Amino acid sequence: MGLKWLQFTASEYFTTPNLVCFFYTHETYSSMLNYINPFKWTIFVFLLIGCGLNKPRPYGATMQEKEQILKDSLHFTNIVWQDSIYNFGTISQEEDVNAQYRFRNTGRYPLFLVKVTASCGCTIPEYEEKPIEPGGESFIKVKLKTKQQYEEVHKYITVETNTTGTRLHTLVLEGRVKGCCK
């Protein structure tokens, strides 16, 4: 009736990739309680519960988690924008514009797009909320509705991230919209 040790790594299920939880089983429950003092048993149970509750969210972080990410400056990362200015040229008022801004996480930690906002309601950004792993690439899609636009158009999209240097990045959408009567 010896102690049997069982080890498992939980890199797919827990947010800390290198977290390793150890627990042991014994052939009889009463023998195990006699072997471990109550304080150690309590710590052990909390450790197991904590490991199980630490599962990542499949569709991004909550607002509280995003606020915590922005406070955790030790895990800030770097971003490189392949496209930060999109010039759509000259179009008519009946056409909508679809732009795409590509970027890469060049840091050592996951990149989170905490908030993406446009300068007006005619500009609609879309993005995936899941974190971008180091070395990974992604993009932000932006749709501009041109029905109310005319002449020179300059729209700004602000992206808040967990990056070093600055957390706010500005993307530009510009061009010219020909009106129906001009």
Please, which residues have CB within 8 angstroms of residue 109's CB and are 6 or more apart in sequence? 75, 76, 77, 134, 162
Q: Which residue has the higher pLDDT, 3 or 44?
A: 44
Q: Which residues make Cβ contacts (< 8 Å) with residue 70, sequence separation at least 6?
A: 114, 160, 162, 167
Q: What is the pLDDT of residues 49-68, one digit of tens each?
A: 554 444 444 345 677 777 77
User: Residues of 51-78 as b/e, b for ≥16 C-beta within 10 angstroms?
Assistant: beeeeeeeebbeeeebeebeeeeeebbb
Q: Could you read off the pLDDT of 87-139 as tens digits, one per residue?
A: 999 988 888 999 999 999 999 999 999 899 998 889 999 998 889 999 999 99
Whether pTM > 0.75 for this model: the answer is no
- Are the beta carbons of 108 and 134 closer than 8 angstroms? yes
121/112 Cα distance (integer angstroms): 24
Domains and CATH numbers, the chain: 4-56 (no CATH), 73-178 (2.60.40.10)
Contact by Cβ (8 Å): 149, 176? no
The answer to whether residue 41 scores a pLDDT higher than 70 is no
- Secondary structure (3-state) at 49: helix
